[in-house]
């Protein structure tokens, strides 16, 4: 029998796909294959979580967040300052999103928006991405479960 074709270097492929900002089925397959490896780098898991948000794959996001929560060193999330008293949270959220803010105040604004009935999906997706950037897996898991139920 002829030798099996060589397996592509998954990390090199993942780096290429990440640079190209690919979110198609092939990219998902590569990042999921990496995620199944016991020594998978945290950055690939975070990238996969972002892809699940972009593709609105909430049950997969919830499972990945649970996996990350289990493997992450236990750290306490420090209490956040009180949300700014802002009558128009959406305008503030849009401003923070444009500025790509990921600080405590930004999280507070998006969490306050998320509590409002009829919160737009884009704000929930932004909050999920902030949780990934901040490595707040427990919060990400809870938000993914909420999104999964709403879908």
pLDDT of residue 75: 59
Residue 4 has pLDDT above 80, yes or no: no
- Which of 134, 98, 43, 99 shows the shortest CA–CA distance to 111? 134
d(CA 106, CA 116): 16
DSSP 117-148: TT--HHHHHHHHHHHHHTT-HHHHHHHHHHHH
The residue assigned the tokens 């972009």 is 54
* Model pLDDT for residues 46-91, shown as the tens digit of each residue: 999 999 999 999 999 999 999 998 887 665 566 655 555 455 889 9
pLDDT of residue 85: 47
- Mean pLDDT over the full length of the chain: 88
Are the CB atoms for 40 and 69 separated by under 8 Å? no
pTM of the model: 0.82
């Amino acid at each position: 029998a002829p030798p099996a074709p060589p397996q592509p270097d998954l990390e090199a492929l993942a780096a290429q796909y990440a640079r190209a900002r690919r979110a198609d089925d092939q990219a998902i397959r590569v990042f999921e294959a990496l995620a199944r490896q016991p020594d998978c780098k945290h950055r690939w898991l975070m990238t996969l979580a972002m892809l699940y948000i972009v593709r609105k794959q909430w049950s997969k996001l919830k499972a990945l967040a649970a996996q990350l929560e289990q493997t992450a060193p236990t750290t306490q999330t420090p209490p956040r300052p009180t949300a700014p008293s802002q009558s128009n949270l959406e305008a503030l959220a849009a401003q923070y999103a444009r500025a790509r803010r990921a600080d405590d105040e930004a999280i507070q604004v998006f969490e306050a928006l998320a509590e409002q009935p009829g919160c737009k999906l884009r704000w929930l997706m932004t909050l999920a991405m902030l949780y990934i950037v901040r490595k707040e897996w427990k919060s990400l898991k809870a938000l993914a479960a909420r999104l999964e139920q709403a879908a």
